[in-house]
Amino acid sequence: MTEQTQRKLGRTGRSVSSIGLGTWQIGGDWGTVEEPDAFAVLDAAAESGMTFFDTADVYGDGRSEQLIGRWRAENSDWQGTVATKMIRRAPAPSLEHASLENFRAWTQRSRTNLGVETLDLV
CB 87 within 8 A of CB 98: yes
Task: Report the catalytic residues.
Answer: 54, 59, 85
pLDDT in tens, 58-82: 999 999 999 999 999 999 999 999 9
Query: What pLDDT is attached to residue 102?
Result: 87
Average pLDDT over every residue of 18-40 = 94
Dist. CA 13–CA 67, nearest whole Å = 26
Q: DSSP string of 42-99?
A: HHHHHHTT--EEE--TTGGGGHHHHHHHHHHHH-TT---EEE---STTSSS--GGG--
The domains found in the chain, sorted by start residue, are 6-114 (3.20.20.100)
Q: What's this model's pTM, rounded to 2 decimal places?
A: 0.90
Q: What is the mean pLDDT of the chain?
A: 91
